[in-house]
Structure 1
Amino acid sequence: MKKSVKISKKTGIALFVTAAVIMALLIVFHKNPGPAVDQSQELAKKIISCVVIAAACFAFIRWYDKFTGLPVELFQNRHLIWKLAKNDFKKRYAGSYLGAVWAMAQPVVTVAMYYIVFDKIMGNTSTPLREGVEVPFVLFLTAGLVPWFYFSEALNNGTNALLEYNYLVKKVVFKISILPIIKIIAATFIHVFFVCLLLIVAAIYGYYPTIYTTQIIYYSFCLFIFVLALSYTTCAVVVFFRDLSQIISIGLQIGMWATPILWNLDALSPEWIMILKLNPLVYIVNGYRSAIYEKEWFFRDFFSTMYFWIVTVVLFGLGAVIFKRLKVHFADVL
């Protein structure tokens, strides 16, 4: 009989606060290794980051049980989650002759169409990097679309998880908290294929895998946690407000153009860059490109890394609280 490892409330709080203090100290004592920057802007970033971390610690201590309940349930049901995720992926394409090929066909066709329009018709064959070196546009485009396809599919599927599995939601003994992560893991299977496709495209243009390429695993994990954090809020709200699915679809269309997928962020003014970097997906998209052809480690952009994880942790905590508070009413509505 397997023993489950349990962490006491005091230990859990101590670990979280310790991690938060270490993160705050790293932010306070970090010095930008790049060119000279506005000191007042740098100081403002540090102050805002520390305030958010302090607020997160207060909320975690105040609502410890609500924040930790969801991660504990996911860990305890990890074997069931993996089994159901594989079944969900197989079920999605059951009965079709080509099976999972259809999941890969639409994004591949989308990339091909963008390539034909922007590269062949409009003649945009390359994109300049910060250092003045140009990268093939099709590689630049694919490196941005691969994480975006994963995000959009995972968010849509995670949002509708409770609606799709409504018969399980009505079962009292079933842990419905595992449903969103099942849909996101199923979307990850397709994402693995597209990462391989991205590596092939990069190799065709002479950008072969290096030690920096392994960062794709890190950025994929970042994206997985981020979309999971969003999904726990959206899947809980959509049960009561079905229009949310349509709002998300429109938001994804707008978000694709607000994220530097088809255009280069570095071509904008510093003020616009700072505003657009508030979008956590900018960190992910730039990270995929850095891993493929820019050969930079993720920790070089220190504040973007800290910002992304602070936002993700806050969203995950918020999603856990909303999900737990609303789940008692799911069966009645569905």
Structure 2
Amino acid sequence: MKKKKIIAALIIVTAAVIANVFLAFRIYDKLSMYVNIFLCLVTDTLGVYCLSNIETLFRVPLDIYRSRDMFWDLVKNDFQARFVGSIFGVVWAFINPVITLLLYWFVFQIGLRAGDVGDYPFILFLMSGLIPWFYVQEALNGGASSLLEYSYLVKKMVFNVGILPVLKVASALFVHAFFLGALIVIACMYGIGIDLYIFQIFYYIFCSAFFILGLSYFTAACTAFFKDMTQVINIVLMIGTWITPIMWNAENTLPPMMHKIFRLNPFYYIVDGFRDVILFKKWFWDKPVWTTYFWIVAIVVYIGGVKFFNRLKVHFPDVL
């Protein structure tokens, strides 16, 4: 255990050093210098916070590694169980997103003629925003209801309930991977070829899964005591569909200050990142301030969510 803590501490310190170097070499003017100094201080503070919560930060990955065979069996069974008894089976997992995508495309491109996104085809702009958002919706809804759905496992004292939110976040990746593949194929059909930027897609998938997992721990624990939490999440996701933004180009529409306010939404970073991969051809280190900001928020949410979940989990068998 001591050896694992030392390795984990080295990982955290290395990440903090890389973040500081990353910001230091991205100073363009006096204002950005002050912003970067502030972010370096925040990053160092976050590093100290991570070191003080090192067991919380690495507990989930270690739990999954120890029970990896059982975990992947549960992930596959979870994906298949949603469609047991239906005629078309897993096809339903793809029909709803496709219909939603076509409806949005028709309304904005054909009906409202509001598809001006510069030199890029609107369908690609729309898909590169909607596809990560579909994953956010499915994974977050699944994570929030994971304890309710697997209440029979929660009541077994030998079962590690901490892997249930991870189970839902991982299960949602099957459909997400399919649509990302379709997006890349369609981009190639429009003449936007595959290049080195495409490898960033794994980075942004990890960003999505990590941030959603932190939220899922919090929402799953809340849902166990407050069943209406799932309805609250649906409302928040509905609002998030329009303020992220997904169907419209915020950079070309909003004033600069308002645009920065919108970018405080961590999901904006994820959606914008997928567009950087497919359309804009930018590396994530080309926006150091927003990359640092996202990871600060994501790590704080993750650690806070896991601690909140672990504090309440002793009560789960009694309330489910």
| TM-score of the two chains, using structure 1 as the length reference | 0.89
Cα deviation digits, residues 268-316 of structure 1 (max 9, x gap): 2210121111111111111111111222222111222222122211111
Q: Given the superposition, is the C-alpha separation of residues 60 and 196 from structure 1 closer, same or farther in structure 2, using an over 3 Å criterion?
A: closer
Q: Size of the alignment, in residue pairs?
A: 319
Task: Compute the displacement of 1:240 (Å).
Answer: 1.4
- Residue 195 (1) aligns with residue 195 (2): no
Does the alignment pair 1:221 with 2:206? Answer: yes
In the alignment, what sits opposite 2:126?
A: 141
Q: TM-score, normalised by structure 2?
A: 0.93
* Higher helix fraction (1 or 2): 2
Deviations 1:26-83, CA, capped at 9 Å, x for gaps:
3234324xxxx6x33x244324423432332333343433333333212222222111
Return the letter of the residue paired with 2:78.
Answer: D
* Distance in 2 of aligned mates of 1:312 and 1:269: 26
Amino acid paired to 1:151: V
- Closer, same or farther: CA 59–194 of 1 in aligned 2, 3 Å: same
Q: Is the 8 A contact 1:81 1:181 kept in 2?
A: no
Which residue of the partner structure matches residue 95 of structure 2?
Answer: 105
Q: Does 1:181 align with 2:166?
A: yes
The 2-side partners of 1:88 and 1:82 are apart by 10
Residues 8-23 of structure 1 correspond to what in structure 2 (within 5 A)? 8-23=4-19
Residue 314 of structure 2 aligns with an amino acid whose one-letter code is V
Q: 1:144 to 1:8 in 2, by over 3 A?
A: closer
Residue equivalent to 1:168:
153
Deviation at 1:252, TM superposition (A): 0.4
Alpha-carbon distance change, 9 to 123 in structure 1, aligned in 2, over 3 angstroms: closer
Divergent runs of 4+, >6 A: none
SS of corresponding position for 1:100: helix
Give the whole-Å Cα distance in 2 for the aligned partners of 1:25 and 1:149.
35
- Per-residue Cα deviation, 1:133-162 (whole angstroms, up to 9, x for no partner): x11111111110000000111000011101
Unaligned runs of at least 5 residues, structure 2: none
Following superposition, the deviation at residue 242 of structure 1 comes to 1.8
Distance 1:106 1:264 in 2: 24
Q: Which moved more, 1:198-207 or 1:81-90?
A: 198-207
Q: Which residue of 2 aligns with 1:7?
A: 3
What is the rounded CA distance, in whole Å, between the counterparts of 1:63 and 1:16 in structure 2?
A: 11
- Structure 2 match to 1:275: 261
Aligned counterpart for 2:289 among listed residues 294, 303, 306: 303
Q: Which residue of 2 aligns with 1:85?
A: 75
The alpha-carbon distance between structure 1 residues 62 and 218, as it changes in their structure 2 partners (threshold 3 A), is closer
Q: Which residue of 2 aligns with 1:332?
A: 318
Identity over aligned pairs, percent: 42
Pick the aligned partner of 1:253 from 227, 238, 258: 238
Letter in 1 for 2:230: S
